[in-house]
Amino acid sequence: MLEKKVIYDRVAALVADHFELSTDQISGDLNFLNDIDADSIDFVELVLEMEDEFDAEIPDEDADKLTTINQTVDYIYEHQAKK
């Protein structure tokens, strides 16, 4: 089971890479829609990358609720524990 810090680092790296951001622009409360102006296609691609990275399935209804990095990290942490 991955620790939250490891998940955070991996999610932050994915977000930075996907949206071409520097790591100093990444924070836990970064909002995908408001802070980096991700459109729905960007967000779907990011979710798919996270599913690959964490070998997890994130249903659309859950993905719609993941608007910040911290929410995403918490979601992945909680759902890996159920495996």
Q: Which pLDDT value is given to residue 81?
A: 63
Catalytic residue selected from 29, 37, 39, 62: 39
Helix (H, G, I), strand (E, B) or coil at 33: coil
Cα–Cα distance measured from residue 17 to residue 11, given in angstroms and rounded to the nearest whole number: 10
**CB neighbours of residue 11 within 10 Å:** 24
Q: What pLDDT is recorded for position 33?
A: 86
User: pLDDT tens, 28-83?
Assistant: 999 998 999 788 899 999 999 999 999 999 999 999 999 999 999 999 999 986 65
Closest among 48, 54, 52 to 73, alpha carbons compared: 54
Question: Residue 39 catalytic?
Answer: yes
The second-level CATH assignment, the architecture, of 4-80 is Orthogonal Bundle (1.10)
Residue 51 structure tokens: 């599913």
pTM of the model: 0.91
